[in-house]
Structure 1
Amino acid sequence: MIQGGLLSILLLGFTLGIKHATEPDHVIAVSTIASRTKKLSRSSLAGVFWGLGHTATLLLIGVTAVALGRHIPENVATLLEFFVGVMLVYLGLNGVRKSRTVEEDGRHQHFHKKSFVIGVIHGLAGSAAMVLLTATTANTGSEAFQFILIFGAGTVVGMLLFTTLLGLPFLITSKKAIPIMLMRITSVISVLYGLYYMFQTGSGFFS
């Protein structure tokens, strides 16, 4: 049976995971992928695969770092955060370029692979904070593994809910104008936020 203290830690991890999934850079990145389909199932799965990629990276790096008693250097963490900005700009520009071709059946898109890779990159960027958070809440390597796993489950649920909501408008219309417009909007937002993110993290890195 799970002890009360550990149960509280796991509930905290799940709640934080849901909250973590809705951070702007995560939502914007996944939106550039999920907005390319009119199928609700594909839109929802984009969030699931993002969460799986995110969790896989955190488990690999987080548990290893906690077990070894190491922290990720601040300059490395900042560099990884900067790379997230680069990714957002790339996703946005790519979305603008493909905004006239809305994905319907997945033949021209490695849909879930892209979502998984985005999750992996976000996991790399967030690994430093996760190591610190886990180190302050878990007492053993086993508890660290459970905490990150439950945190990951929270991110999957949070992003699943968001991408499902993103896909709902497509259930009430058969017009392509809406998905194309949504693709363009999310793509432009991704570029602008990515540039802002790069500026913010770059300022911290070179200061």
Structure 2
Amino acid sequence: MESLFAILGFGFLLGIKHALEPDHVVAVSTIVGKNKSPWHSGFLGVFWGIGHTLTLIFIFLVLHFTQTSISGTWEKTFELGVGIMLVYLGVSTFFPAKNHTPKKSGNTAGNLFFKSMFIGQIHGLAGSAAMTLLVVSMVDSLQGALLYIGTFGTGTILGMLLFTFVLSIPFLFAVNKNRINFFLTKATAILSIGYGLYYIYMVGFIDGLFT
């Protein structure tokens, strides 16, 4: 029992650390500035974590019941999807979709929450191969595996909740300062594009997906 608690504690701390990996941070940063409330921004992190965790659980169950594994090529392809998504998130900030139909603020916030969940799902898909190997090496039962992934997911949710809450503070002070808000928004977009291109290069050429 003590060893199980130790494993779950390790998973929880690993989940917090995992939430703060550069590609996760950059992706969520592109939409945090669109929310004017730190609490709403914090919930963006929660939805990211939920999407990330649900994908990990789904992929693990599929692999478990089919007795298969994710090939190296597919693993790199999923990682490539993260890079493409980062570039898209950055570019879309410069070219926002035009909609002449008035939207209520609640609908806009809801769209951001689901967008954050989708981003989390893409990251979860990309990290599913590594998570599967980690879970198999840590526990030897389906119940234990799901418990570990759930604890890991709780850590990612908490880590991203705290990060998005803190990240929103500079944007909050810049609400009525158009130039500062413009700079912060575009800076995160440029960072997302740059890191996304770097990510694509690393996966495609250094890790060998394209070669």
What's the TM-score once normalised by structure 1's chain length? 0.91
Q: Tell me the residue number matched to 1:147.
A: 148
Matches of 1:36 and 1:29, distance apart in 2: 13
Q: Tell me the residue number matched to 2:105.
A: 105
- The one-letter code sitting in structure 1 at the alignment partner of 2:163 is F
Query: Mean alpha-carbon deviation: is it higher for 168-177 or for 11-20?
Result: 168-177
Q: Tell me the residue number matched to 1:55.
A: 53
Shift of 1:147: 0.4
- Correspondence list, 1:23-38, <5 A: 23-38=21-36
Query: Mean alpha-carbon deviation: is it higher for 88-97 or for 169-178?
Result: 169-178
CA RMSD, Structure 1 to Structure 2 (Å): 2.0
Q: Tell me the residue number matched to 1:119.
A: 120
CA deviations on 1:42-90 (whole Å, 9 max, x unpaired) are 2111111000000000011124324554321111000000011000000
Does residue 42 in structure 1 map to residue 40 in structure 2? yes
Q: Tell me the residue number matched to 1:198.
A: 200
- Correspondence list, 1:77-88, <5 A: 77-88=75-86
Shift of 1:180: 2.3
- The one-letter code sitting in structure 2 at the alignment partner of 1:148 is I
Q: Tell me the residue number matched to 1:187.
A: 189
Matches of 2:153 and 2:4, distance apart in 1: 16
Q: Tell me the residue number matched to 2:134.
A: 133
Q: How many residues align?
A: 202
Cα pair distance change 1:38/1:51, threshold 3 Å: same
- Show structure 1 runs of 5+ residues with no match: none
- 1:205 alignment partner, SS class: coil
Cα pair distance change 1:89/1:190, threshold 3 Å: same
CA deviations on 1:141-160 (whole Å, 9 max, x unpaired) are 00000000000000001111
Matches of 2:17 and 2:104, distance apart in 1: 30
CA deviations on 1:87-111 (whole Å, 9 max, x unpaired) are 0000000012249xxx993544611
Matches of 1:57 and 1:107, distance apart in 2: 25
Q: Percentage identity across aligned positions?
A: 45
Q: 2:13 aligns with which of 10, 15, 20?
A: 15
Matches of 1:83 and 1:172, distance apart in 2: 34
